[in-house]
Amino acid sequence: MSATVKTPSRVVMCPSCSTKNRVPAVAAGVPRCGNCQNPLPWVVDTSDADFAAVADKSTIPVLVDVWAPWCGPCRMVSPALEQLATELAGKLKLVKVNADEAPAVSRRFEVQAIPTLVLLNHGQTIVKQVGAAPIPALRSWLTDHLPPHEAESAQEDDSSTRSVGP
Ligand SMILES: [Zn+2]
């Protein structure tokens, strides 16, 4: 019995300059283009084994797409989600979970029907939606619920240099 080993990275074409970049499933901060430094779309396939590392530990909000290969509406909503991940590059990580291979993730989010979409921030559920929707509806659902964008610079703990008070 051999476990399926998922590719830990995928090659993504930079939407700004068309350079091909290898984007890892897990990284500190957000992946950026090696050529133009713009944030890259971040789309990761995962399952129970590495969900915590890929989704819960992400420093940017995560959209979890619980889907299955036999689910027609899932196949319709998938390209829309990937497009939104491109539009929201640097602000959102799209994490796709095959429900058949991820019983623990399915239980955790009480998945009754698919697709189920869950927006997570630092491992906390912000909002959940069941069923496919057209891309404009998905876009406004996401932008309505995305937490305010945290400082894009990597210096998160640089509070000592911030001026305090009046
Ligand atoms: Zn680029």
71 carries an active-site annotation: yes
36 carries an active-site annotation: no
The highest-level CATH class for domain 40-145 is alpha beta
Number of residues in the chain? 166
Q: 152 CA to middle of ligand 1, Å?
A: 17
Looking at residue 148, its pLDDT comes to: 82
pTM of the model: 0.85
Closest C-alpha among 159, 153, 124, 162 to residue 29? 153
Residues 97-130: tens digit of each pLDDT: 999 999 999 999 999 999 999 999 999 999 999 9
Please tell me which residue in 17, 33, 36, 71 is annotated as part of the active site: 71
CA angle 107/41/139 to nearest 5° reads: 70
Residues 63-81: tens digit of each pLDDT: 999 999 999 999 999 999 9
Q: pLDDT above 70 covers what percent of the chain?
A: 86
Contact of 40 with 12, CB cutoff 8 Å: yes
Mean pLDDT score of the chain? 89
> Is the pLDDT assigned to residue 62 strictly greater than 90?
yes
Q: 151 CA to middle of ligand 1, Å?
A: 21
Strand, coil or helix: 114: coil
Q: 13 CA to middle of ligand 1, Å?
A: 8
Distance CA(48)–CA(97), nearest Å, equals 8
Q: 39 CA to middle of ligand 1, Å?
A: 8
Distance CA(158)–CA(52), nearest Å, equals 26
